[in-house]
């Protein structure tokens, strides 16, 4: 949670998401991407690493990718998560707020969204393969989805 990982071929990255958003920015020709596990939409004055908040994660991912030679104009985005896990026992608006924030930031950064699977009430296990750029999304009781 709150982490950003730079993943270059042939490596893969994996995480599990509830209301958090898993965001991947990927440069296909360079076969390098960054994956963030975003917990909250806005940093405001809260403590935490850049990957914890959407509004600090996206700029930091762009910096990390640029430092590793990725070209910003080639970047595509894939995202998953943002569930409302328990409507009766926890905050239900966080997943949606995270999603909206990420979408706005990607739009402002002119990064094309190549795939997304968000919302609902179930957790997701995601696996990003930097060799192929595929993001596999697994939901319990459903067939895996490839973005």
Partner 1 sequence: MSSTSHNDPSLAILQQFFTTATQHASAAMCHWTRGRVSLTLDELTRVPLEDAMFQFEEAHDLVTMVVLGVDGSDGAQLILAFDDASGRRLAASLLHREPSNGPEWTELEKSAVMETGNILASAYLNELTRLANRKLVPTAPHFVQDYGMSVLEQALLMQAMSSDEVMVSRTRFEFDSEQVNWNLMFFPDETLRDSLQRAVVAAS
Catalytic sites, residue numbers:
20
Residue selected from 8, 12, 16, 145 as contacting partner 1 according to rule CB under 8 A:
16
Among 69, 71, 86, 144, binds partner 1 (CB under 8 A): 86
CB nearer partner 1, residue 73 or residue 89 = 89
85 is a contact residue toward partner 1 (CB under 8 A) = yes
DSSP letter, residue 28? T
Is residue 69 within 8 A of residue 6, CB to CB? The reply is no
What is the size of the binding site for partner 1 (CB under 8 A)?
31
Question: Applying CB under 8 A, does 137 fall inside the site for partner 1?
Answer: no
Q: Which stretch binds partner 1 (CB under 8 A): 9-17, 28-36, 59-67, 70-78?
A: 9-17
Residue 36 or residue 105: which is nearer to partner 1 going by CB? 36
Site residues (CB under 8 A) for partner 1? 1-3, 14-20, 39-40, 46-49, 51-52, 83, 85-86, 88-91, 94, 122-125, 140
């Amino acid at each position: 949670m709150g982490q950003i990982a730079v993943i270059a071929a042939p490596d893969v990255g994996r995480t599990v998401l509830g209301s958090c958003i898993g965001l991947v920015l990927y440069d296909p020709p360079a076969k390098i991407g960054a994956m963030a596990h975003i917990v909250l939409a806005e940093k405001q004055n809260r403590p935490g690493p850049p990957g914890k908040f959407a509004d600090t994660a996206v700029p930091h991912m762009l910096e990390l990718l640029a430092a590793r030679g990725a070209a910003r104009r080639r970047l595509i985005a894939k995202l998953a998560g943002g569930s409302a896990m328990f409507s009766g026992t926890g905050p239900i608006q966080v997943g949606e707020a995270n999603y909206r924030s990420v979408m706005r930031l990607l739009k402002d950064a002119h990064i094309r969204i190549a795939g997304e699977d968000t919302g609902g009430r179930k957790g997701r296990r995601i696996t990003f393969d930097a060799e192929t750029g595929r993001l596999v999304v697994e939901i319990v009781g459903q067939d895996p989805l490839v973005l």
